[in-house]
A and B are shown apart, each in its own frame.
Chain A
Amino acid sequence: MTGYALRRLGGALIVLFLLSVLVYLLFYVAPGDPARLACGPRCNAEQIRQVQDQLGLNEPLLTQYLHFLQGVVSGRDYSTGTGVLHCHAPCFGLSYQNDQPVTELLSARLPVTASLALGAMVLWLLLGVGTGLLSALRRGGTTERVLTVLTLTGTATPVFITGLLLLMIFCAYLQWLPFPTYVPLTEDPEQWAWNLLLPWTALALLESAKYARLTRSATLETLAEDHIRTFRAYGVRERTVIGRHALRGALPPVIALNAVDLGAMFGGAMLTETLFGLPGIGQLLVHSVRSVDLPVVVGAVLAIGAAVVLAGAVADVLYALADRRVTLT
């Protein structure tokens, strides 16, 4: 088991390394001139040359990439003309906009993204697993058909449409909820939850459709298995059969999918954060793309990529742990 987990995580690290090469090549080598972007629109040739020196853009490509990797692993120093600015590990460079280390920018936004992701997760698990279970137990009936249509609708609706409709209903028409502004949990827990309720709901409605389908199919599979029939034949109460045994069979895939989704969310829910104006990692990426702030783009993409790739590895390990029938190779 430990061996499998280590191999799977090792594989994830290799993917991450390849990702860093790919991202680096794409953004620093392809079109455009990083020095011109870093310097700003009103720079003359002399100033651009200075920036090139500072950022080491005249060195061979491999050297540049190694410096970048070194920065990620152990930090890096930048000369600012007047002094030296140390960028702590993991260092993804400095923002072109305000010379702030990318890592600081990212970590300042992590609480927002984490609040959004974790709250939404609780909602989508309750909603999705509940719906899926109900749909599996009422197989063939009207309830199942209604639930199938609802989950299909849920998947077909992009999150910004659901979000806009929620805003129109609860914010503009009924005026029950404020237009979301992020209030830190440590400052005012009640306002924190109140403001995040709409974004959580929008995300949960989208995600829960997936969980409903997964729970439904997994529960049906388990219910068709021999040991369930044996339990029933022994006269175990139906509530116990479903609550304890059928649900257990449905759990491994749900746990695995949840790990993947949570990883993606931690990388930032770009659309949700943009719609509701939440200053999370996803919004940071969108803003930095609009202002062509390459170090922030690269840092955010790598951070998000890391979250997603590691979550995938964790999901596989969790799946294997939760389901004894999976043979490990």
Chain B
Amino acid sequence: MSDLQETGVWRRLRARPSAVVAAAVLAVLALFALGAPLLSALEGQDPTTYHDSLIDSARGGVPLGPYGGIGADHWLGVEPGTGRDLFARLLYGARISLLVALGATVVQVLIGVTIGLAAGFGSRFVDTVLSRFTDVMVALPMLVFGVALTAVVPADFPRPLLLIIVIGLLSWGGTSRIVRAQTLSLKKLDYVAAARLGGSRPWRVARRELLPALAAPVITYAAILVPMNMVVEASLSFLGIGVRPPASSWGQMLSTATTWFRADPTYVLLPAACLFVTVLAFTVLGDALRTALDPRERSRLRVGTRGGSRGAERATTKGAAV
């Protein structure tokens, strides 16, 4: 971290109002997620109790009262059909969304850095095999595979863990490519050559000389991965194969909301707003981080190279979940 401070990354991040706002939003969200049991206890509700008296069974289970039953007892109303408290469900949903997005990113970075380092630092044969393998993984339609994989996993396997593993295992390709490319160019530098000639073993060179230099590009890329993973989690849960009731995630709530959008718009808007704001905040912060960590970005006159911009577009192509 001291490296980052010396290069003025924090100063440059703080200088961007959008980054500060995004960071603040995410900090509040993290507090809400961590304090979910506390906050719902403060409200006097929990996310799983049914309240049959609060829904209109004659109209198919639409919450009684205006705006989805918002009131002093239920701060954000109740879920149509079941009467479960929405505030509590959103809070616990935030936990799952954040946990899966961050957990999957950790898995992706670990696998990506390991494979990328091995490919960049290993023999030519190792490099070829690993690079081809990475190509195949990058070519796979990630969401399709994620959906299909859940078909063969037993139903009692813990869902958040499954989501972390599936998302993490399927999309480490981008990280691995970046790490490999960086390793290849670092390998040519004198200080790395000196360490090797000094008799350090490859593993030691990788850990002591290469990893610190890889931190900036990996952090930058990981910051883009987090919102992508969040969308993938929401998508899988939306399709009914991620988090399942009684557990809640924002995607799962939106999945139920598809049958209620006419009768109870509040139930659509709340999880949609949560997901939208969080993904946007992560994206804005990731973008600011990229700018702050990349010295070239400081120049406003910079005109991107053709290859560069195309590569960036390629990287985002997979992120779009349709």
Contact = CB atoms under 8 A, between A and B. Distances in A.
Given A165-B272, A221-B304, A301-B145, A160 B254 contact: yes
A35 interface: no
Contacts of A267: 141, 144
A290 B153 CA distance: 11
Nearest to A288: B151
B31 interface: no
A264 B322 contact: yes
Contact of B261 (A26, A32, A168, A301): A168
Interface stretch (B33-41, B103-111, B312-320): B312-320
Interface string B242-285: 00000000000010011001100100100010011001100110
29 contacts: A15-B136, A18-B136, A156-B276, A157-B276, A164-B261, A167-B261, A168-B268, A203-B322, A207-B320, A217-B304, A217-B309, A218-B309, A220-B304, A221-B305, A253-B309, A267-B144, A270-B322, A271-B238, A271-B321, A285-B148, A286-B241, A290-B240, A292-B151, A297-B148, A300-B148, A301-B144, A305-B140, A305-B144, A308-B140
Interface string B75-108: 0000000000000000000000000000000000
A247 to B, nearest CB: 16
B152 A30 contact: yes
Contacts of B258: 160, 164, 275
A270 B313 CA distance: 22
Interface stretch (B178-186, B200-208, B214-222, B227-235): B227-235
A261 B178 CA distance: 23
Given A301-B145, A305-B141, 14 more contacts: A32-B154, A152-B283, A155-B283, A158-B235, A164-B268, A164-B272, A168-B265, A207-B320, A214-B309, A257-B313, A268-B144, A270-B144, A271-B238, A289-B147
A126 interface: no
A218 B258 CA distance: 38
B291 interface: no
A269 B272 CA distance: 20
Interface residues of A, number: 67
Interface string B123-154: 00000000000011001110111011111111
A289 B148 contact: yes
A159 interface: yes
B303 interface: yes
A308 B139 contact: yes
B258 to A, nearest CB: 6
Contacts of A15: 135-136, 139
Contact of A271 (B139, B235, B304): B235
B310 interface: yes
A301 B276 contact: no
Contacts of B322: 159, 203, 206-207, 264-265, 269-272
Contacts of A308: 139-141
Interface string A211-247: 0011001101100100000000000000000000000
Contacts of A172: 261-262, 265
B306 interface: yes
Contacts of A217: 304, 309
Contacts, number: 168
A158 B254 CA distance: 11
Interface of A: 15, 18-19, 22-23, 26-27, 30-32, 152-153, 155-161, 164-165, 167-168, 171-172, 203, 206-207, 210, 213-214, 217-218, 220-221, 224, 253, 256-257, 260-261, 264-265, 267-272, 274-275, 285-286, 288-290, 292, 294, 297-298, 300-301, 304-305, 308-309, 312
Interface residues of B, number: 52
Contact of B303 (A18, A155, A206, A220): A220
A7 B203 CA distance: 37
A27 B150 CA distance: 10
Contacts of B235: 158, 160, 270-271
Contacts of B305: 221
A309 B317 CA distance: 13
B26 interface: no
A161 B144 contact: no
A285 B135 contact: no
B9 interface: no
A289 B241 CA distance: 8
Nearest to A249: B306
A141 to B, nearest CB: 14
B239 interface: yes
